[in-house]
Every structure is written in C-alpha cells, then in structure tokens.
Amino acid sequence: VTTFDDTRDELTLVDHHCHGIVLRDLERVEFESMLNEASRPSPLGTSLFDSMLGLAVRRWCSPVLDLQPLASAEEYLARRNELGIDDVSRRLLHATNTVDFLVDTGFAPGAIGPERLAELAGGRAHEVIRLESLAQDFLAAGTRADDVPERVVESLQTTTAVGAKSVAAYRSGLALPDTKPDAAVVVGALADCQPGPDGSYRIVSPAVHGWLAWTALEEGLPLQFHVGYGDNDVDLSRGDPLLLTSFLRRTEDIGVPVLLLHNYPFHRNAGYLAQVFEHVFMDVGLATHNTGALSEVVIRESLELVPFGKMLYSSDAFGLPELYFLAALLFRRGLSRVLDGLVSAGEASSADATRIEALILNQNARRVYSLGPDIEA
C-alpha cells in the first residue's frame, strides 16, 4: 500500500488514545455520521464529505481500496461495501503500522472491543478505563452512594488498564478542585445523582470528577483528560486546558503522568502546560484527521513550546477504520514536514529529526504508560 513519500514512515506507532471500530457495512448517512464530530449530515442538503476530512478520505483512502485518488464519495462507498468491512478495516489498519493501541472502552456504541481491533491491525491492545463510567456503573448496579468510593478505589487498584480517562470536560468542565474533595462531599454528590429513563447514571459534579481524577493519580494510573474539540455534547468554553492549571500545579508532586488529549483549538495552551509542569503530556489526536491537509499547521503550532519528550501520537479514531489510517498518515506526514523544514534550514540535524520522530510516534507513550518494548524489538 502506498501511503506517502517519506523515508521515515517505517517507524512504528503507539496510538495512545483511540476507540473501537464499527465492523459492518454502512449506508452513506451512517458513514457520514461517524465521519466527524457532527451527529449527522445537516438536513439543509449539505454533505460532510465537503470538508477537509472528506477530501482526505477521497484523496488518501481511495488508493488503499484500489481506486484512483479523489474518487467520488459515491464510488468510494460503493467500493467499500463491495470489498466488505473486514477487508477494508484490515487494509486501512495495517497501513498505519501501529503496534500498540490504547483503547478507551468507555464509549463504544456498536464498536468492536480492543482485542478484535488489535487482531485486525496486527498489533497489541491495552485498555484505558473511563473513570466516570466506572462510578456510574456502580450506581446503576445498585451500589449505595457511600460504598461507591471504596469500590472505585478497589477497581483502580486491581485493574489491568494502563491508564484512566476523565471526561470532566464533557460534564462540569475542566476547572477541577485543586485539593482532593472530601469523601463526604463526594458521597453526597453521588447520592444526588439520579438515573435517566433507561436506568443509566450521568455524573455531573466537579467534586466527583475531581475526586476520581485525584484518586486515579494517587493509585498510580496515568490520567488522560479529554480537552478541547469534541462532539456537540462538549461545551468548548469550559474545555480549555488552562482551566486545569491549579489542579496540575497541586498534582505535580504525585509524579504520575497527566495526558491532555486532542486540545484543538487550545493546542498552544496545552504545549505551554506540558512545558511548565513535569507530569503533563499532550497530543493533537482528532484534530489531525479533521483538519486534513491543513493539519501540518496544528502540528507545527503544538511543537512551538512542547518539549519533544512530552508530545504523543493518538488517532482518537472511533467507528471508521478510515480515521485510524488518516490520523496516522497525516500526523506522520505533518511531523516529517515540520522537522524536514528545520533540517533543510540547518536548525536541526537529520539525526535529530529521526530521534524526535521516534520519541513522539512511539517512545514517549511507551515510557509514560510503561508499555514495555516495541513489538519488533
């Protein structure tokens, strides 16, 4: 499979944040609903293919499915269904050369699990546990609010997950308490949480989000935060990573990594936080494939401040194997282009460029999550 012209594209990837794919053939409306963060194509007669991401699908995924670059959306989807989703997924996932997938299992409507994903891609899967889902599931199972904190701690102590994730940005926002909330306050907030019509719970309490985040760090689990760009459930004005500043200042001494996911359009703010707090790391997953051919700018702006040992790769792909493929291709290409520019200007050596790429694409994640050696080592 031809991906793009780059001599360093054989470097293996660690995708430190992604979700499962939907392993069935899709009608156009379903495909478009998973294409980006909108819930569906606009009823005003537009197509989500008319976007930077849509162009990238037609430009780069078409050849993987044996079509000419920039095949029409109709041709692309017809070929996709003709080949069948198993073949399509295998082709696109293999082409990413990802060896380790860290899968957030907290949001996966209709998607395959981590093991099946890794099997299709020829890599390894690791679970990341979603903190709010963990607590909500205890409530839904009838656990008394007073007992939930202890159950959560037990789960975090015995989990095989390599990290935890907070979705506070989707709920009460990122202005989390800068001290660990009292157990009594947390139990009170959990007791106030009422089930929806389907019996499921939805935690929306800064005290509970804060307590979960503090607890995960105290239990030694690297902690991911959703930051910035996301679906229409997120209030972007409360998703700026700078809102986490006090929390980060007060948790630095715990010494456990905090990973700021996505960050767009606040990636420069995230780069600043990664520079000044020793336990903070960042990525620009999700933004890379959504900005398509323009993603090089996002990568360049992130690299202005972030130390090279603090930047990671993630796809944040969900649903479509195309998103895994495009995230990997565009991130590798954008990073290479920025670094090649530095090398040709005499601002870095080729050896520097190769070393920085290896850190960002693979080694940083391996170190942060203690993943062990590369699959090929």
Residues 6+ apart with CB under 8 A from 327: 15, 96, 285, 286, 288, 289, 314, 315, 316, 317
Q: Report whether 193 contacts 202 (CB < 8 A).
A: yes
**Measured from the CB of residue 241, what is the shortest distance to Zn ion in angstroms?**
15
**Measured from the CB of residue 284, what is the shortest distance to Zn ion in angstroms?**
13
Closest CB to Zn ion among residues 174, 207: 174
319: left (phi over 0), alpha (psi -120 to 50) or beta: left
Q: How far is CA 192 from CA 136, 154, 180, 210, in A?
A: 12, 23, 19, 16
Instruction: Give me the DSSP letters along 26-84.
Output: --HHHHHHHHSSSSS--TTT--TTSSHHHHHIIIIIHHHTTPPTT--HHHHHHHHHHH-
* Residue with tokens 């903070």, as numbered in its chain: 280
Closest CB to Zn ion among residues 226, 279: 226
* Total residue length of the chain: 377
Closest CB to Zn ion among residues 186, 270: 270
Closest CB to Zn ion among residues 16, 91: 16
* Residue with tokens 């095989």, as numbered in its chain: 160
Chain centroid, CA 80 distance in Å: 25
Closest CB to Zn ion among residues 213, 305: 213
**Measured from the CB of residue 226, what is the shortest distance to Zn ion in angstroms?**
7
**Measured from the CB of residue 116, what is the shortest distance to Zn ion in angstroms?**
18
Q: Report whether 228 contacts 240 (CB < 8 A).
A: yes
Closest CB to Zn ion among residues 76, 266: 266
Closest CB to Zn ion among residues 132, 316: 316
**Measured from the CB of residue 320, what is the shortest distance to Zn ion in angstroms?**
13
**Measured from the CB of residue 224, what is the shortest distance to Zn ion in angstroms?**
9
Binding site for Zn ion (CB under 5 A): 316
69: left (phi over 0), alpha (psi -120 to 50) or beta: beta
**Measured from the CB of residue 19, what is the shortest distance to Zn ion in angstroms?**
6
Q: Which residue is nearest to Zn ion (CB)?
A: 316
